[in-house]
Amino acid sequence: MNENYKTIKELADELGLAKQTVQYHIKFLPTENRQKNNSGSIVLNLEEQKFIKKRLTKIKKVQPTENRQKTDRKSTKKNEELSVNSLLLEQIKDLKNNRDKQLENKDKQLLQMQNLLDQQQRLALQDKKLLDEYKSEINDLKALKMPTQETEFKHLDNQYKDEVNALKEKLENLQEQIKDQKRIEEQEKPRKWWGLWRK
């Protein structure tokens, strides 16, 4: 197998820890692409080894192998619990920091939303004022009593009737003039002697 890969036992021996401690930290690694050696033991690549070492160094500095072997199981278990607790505390701090940053971002977003709402309300008020002004102008124009279509039609109808009546009067006058002209012409015609008895 490649030198970059180590079994759990090899890594535990290198770090001077119990095999169970390394196994405990392995559960924080992703399970996809987990590799095994020829004998079926789980092997860890360099990245996985670094991850476990980093987790353990955050908790406390690793003691040399000789000193670690002298500690009994109770102290090892206690140390593991302490390391897990300190690791959890660090994770909680990270979560708090992330939460604070998210809250700060949310506050900024809320402030921007509030500004946008204020602008929208101002624009709505301006629009309402303009509409009111336009309505008053329209009402003022209506007050000028501009003729409606009905009054225009009545006016036109009356105008046509007046014109028709005037034309009728002219026609009657012309007819009377024609009659008068005919009478005058008849009177001026010489009468024939045989036509005198007819009348």
Rounded CA gap, 43 and 33, in Å?
A: 11
- What average pLDDT does the segment 169-185 reach? 89
- What average pLDDT does the segment 31-60 reach? 79
C-beta separation of 76 from 70 below 8 A: no
pLDDT at 170: 92
pLDDT at 173: 92
- Closest by CA position to 11, among listed 67, 52, 40: 52
Residue 2: pLDDT band with limits 50, 70, 90: low
Name the least confident of 11-15, 116-120, 128-132.
11-15
How confident is the model over 58-89, as pLDDT tens digits?
A: 765 544 544 455 555 666 667 777 777 888 88
Please report the beta strands in 69-135, taking only residues with DSSP state E, as ranges in sequence order: none
Name residue 96's amino acid: K
- Closest by CA position to 68, among listed 11, 15, 25, 7: 15
pLDDT at 62: 44
Rounded CA gap, 58 and 193, in Å?
A: 159
DSSP H/E element including 7: strand 6-7
Q: Of the ranges 57-66, 110-119, 145-154, 189-198, which is most confident?
A: 110-119
How confident is the model over 141-163, as pLDDT tens digits?
A: 887 766 566 666 677 778 888 88
C-beta separation of 56 from 76 below 8 A: no
pLDDT at 66: 46
Facing residues of 54 across strands? none
pLDDT at 90: 84
Rounded CA gap, 68 and 22, in Å?
A: 14
C-beta separation of 15 from 22 below 8 A: yes
